[in-house]
Amino acid sequence: MARPILMPQVGQDLTEGKVTAILVKPGDKVKKGDIVAEVESEKAVFEVEAFETGTILDIRYKVGDTAVVLEPLMMVGEEGEKLEAVPAPAAEAFSGEDAQAIVETAREPIASPAVETAHVTETAYLKTGTGGSSPLARRLAVSAGLDIAAIPGTGPKGAVVKQDVIAYQRSRSAETASVVAFRGSASQPSSAAGSGVLKTLQSGTGDPVLFIHGFGGELSAWRPFLSHLGITNPIIAIDLPAHGAAAGAAADSFDDLVGAVRNTLRTQDIGRLHLVGHSLGAAVATAIAGGGDLDVRSLTLIAPAGLGPKINGDYFAGFLSSASETVLKAWLDLLVHDPADLPGVLVRATLAGREGTAMAQNQARLAAGIVSGNTQLFSVRDALGRFGGPARIIVGREDRIVPPDQAEAVPPHVALHRLAQVGHLPQLEAAPLVGRLVAQTIRSAG
């Protein structure tokens, strides 16, 4: 029985790669471990091994082709064996999270491509949403954490377009209203604060680790960082009010943010967890950890705000008022020590995220409540002192948003790492090291 040798998945976000070398031809005998092909992702060339001994029966690609991850590159079997019909794409073709999304939405069948095609890779291409969907729809789906393949398309030939993503998002948010915490409970009747939106980025065992992004960020920005963690705990992340999927929710103050996260956790019945936060999100994490009501196992603060009065107020003003890519990039460059580290997509994604949502308006409203000129209007210094568990602060020495020296005077039980040639985004600029440090903090809690 012929078995496929699959295009391997290297890297979380890789969906396809280029075939740079085919080292066998049909009829060749291979044994387990033989290198049969080389494929290339964005950054690296890697080798594809035969997984078992046999004869190459069929090669699906030629050099230069683009192969879809986890699709068969070639078939291997007994010499002289006749190939049966092309097997369906492997069910594992999606990462855990994607698979979950598909299961959740299985009642809505994926619109089948109107053009019948015998070529397995092309079908898969359409299924993964990179063919039958508009670029805008794909981007919106990614930023909303949706799997485009699960969204029914109504565009030309069943393509998924902007309208479809928005309609799908609406229908989903209606369904999941019960699990998304909306602030407005009796305890804070007067608050204008909205909700956070939680998303599971990795399933696992043990206490969950909650990641909280900074001002202007969103939960999906953590994704590339997660590969550097190497932990098996469940990983969840939140979109704070005025950000990401919670862009429509308003928050007027730091306390509103903390309240929104607390309520979101309460609604999800999460009472025991690790916290990792960046910048403003680190301050929120600290406030929660210092509150004592939740069982916070460990606290990792990356470039935290709230430890001193100073902050780069110009950045907030510039970030919020930037309407063009050029202008926004000039401000976002301040986030990193080396502008080359700033992903180009961030600029566009930020501008795009503001479209059609109240994000810009809500972020400006929030900024007014947390920053005045170059002063932070909140402090979590006391809260940090009250937290007795394992705590670690990681700052970049070249941080131009929050002065790194404000982290100097932390309580002595808190570890402080000051990274040279790193700015305000250590999790991006020094991802492997920061990943290791976060993992160590979590593990040290036992």
Partner 1 sequence: MAREIMYRDALREAIDEEMARDKTVFIIGEGIAERGGSYKVTEGLLDKYGPKRVRDTPIAEAGMIGVGVGAAIAGARPIVEILYIDFAMLGMDMIVNQAAKFRLMTGGDGRVPFIMRTQGGTGGGVAAQHSQSLEAMFYHIPGLKVVMPSTPSDAKGLLKYALRQPDPVMFLEHKHLYMTKGMVPDGEHIIAFGKGDIKRPGKDVTVIAWSNMVPRTLEAAEKLAAEGIEVEVIDPRTLVPLDKEMILTSVAKTNRAVIVQEAVRRGGVASDIASIIQEEAFYHLDAPIEIVAGLNIPIPFNLELEKASVPQVDDIVAAVKRSLHAKPVAIAAE
Residues making contact with partner 1 (CB under 8 A): 134-139, 154-156, 161-163, 166, 323-325, 348-349, 351-352, 355
Q: What are the φ/ψ torsions at residue 329 (nearest 5 degrees)?
A: -60, -40
401-423 per-residue burial string, b: 16 or more CB within 10 A, e: under 16: bbbbebbeebeeebbbbbbeebb
Task: Return the number of the residue (156 or 388) whose C-beta is nearest partner 1.
Answer: 156
Q: Give the N- to C-terminal CA distance of the chain in Å, as an integer.
A: 47
Task: Return the number of the residue (349 or 433) whose C-beta is nearest partner 1.
Answer: 349
Task: Return the number of the residue (157 or 272) whose C-beta is nearest partner 1.
Answer: 157
Q: What is the largest CA-CA distance in the chain?
A: 77
For residue 163, the minimal CB distance to partner 1 (Å) is: 6
Task: Return the number of the residue (3 or 162) whose C-beta is nearest partner 1.
Answer: 162
Contact present, 363 and 213 (Cβ < 8 Å): no
Task: Return the number of the residue (355 or 408) whose C-beta is nearest partner 1.
Answer: 355
Task: Return the number of the residue (160 or 257) whose C-beta is nearest partner 1.
Answer: 160
Q: In terms of C-beta distances under 8 Å and separation of at least 24 residues, what long-range contacts does 78-83 make, across chains too?
A: 78/2, 78/54, 79/27, 79/29, 79/55, 80/55, 81/1, 81/2, 81/55, 81/57, 83/2, 83/57, 83/58
For residue 360, the minimal CB distance to partner 1 (Å) is: 13
> How far, in Å, CA of 171 to CA of 212, rounded?
26
Angle separating helix axes 313-321 and 359-370, nearest 10 degrees: 170
CA distances, 262 to each of 152, 426, 436 (Å): 34, 26, 27
Contact present, 56 and 36 (Cβ < 8 Å): yes
Query: Which residue matches tokens 């082709």?
Result: 65
Task: Return the number of the residue (48 or 160) whose C-beta is nearest partner 1.
Answer: 160
Residue among 325, 328, 304, 275 nearest 401 (CA): 304
Task: Return the number of the residue (146 or 235) whose C-beta is nearest partner 1.
Answer: 146
Angle separating helix axes 254-267 and 280-291, nearest 10 degrees: 60
Angle separating helix axes 344-354 and 359-370, nearest 10 degrees: 100
Query: Which residue matches tokens 């926004």?
Result: 328
The residue type at 395? V
For residue 325, the minimal CB distance to partner 1 (Å) is: 8
C-alpha angle with apex 321: 319 to 324, nearest 5 degrees? 85
- What count of residues does the chain have? 446
For residue 369, the minimal CB distance to partner 1 (Å) is: 29
Task: Return the number of the residue (166 or 270) whose C-beta is nearest partner 1.
Answer: 166
For residue 135, the minimal CB distance to partner 1 (Å) is: 5
Task: Return the number of the residue (23 or 323) whose C-beta is nearest partner 1.
Answer: 323
Kind plus residue range of the DSSP H or E element containing 67: strand 66-68
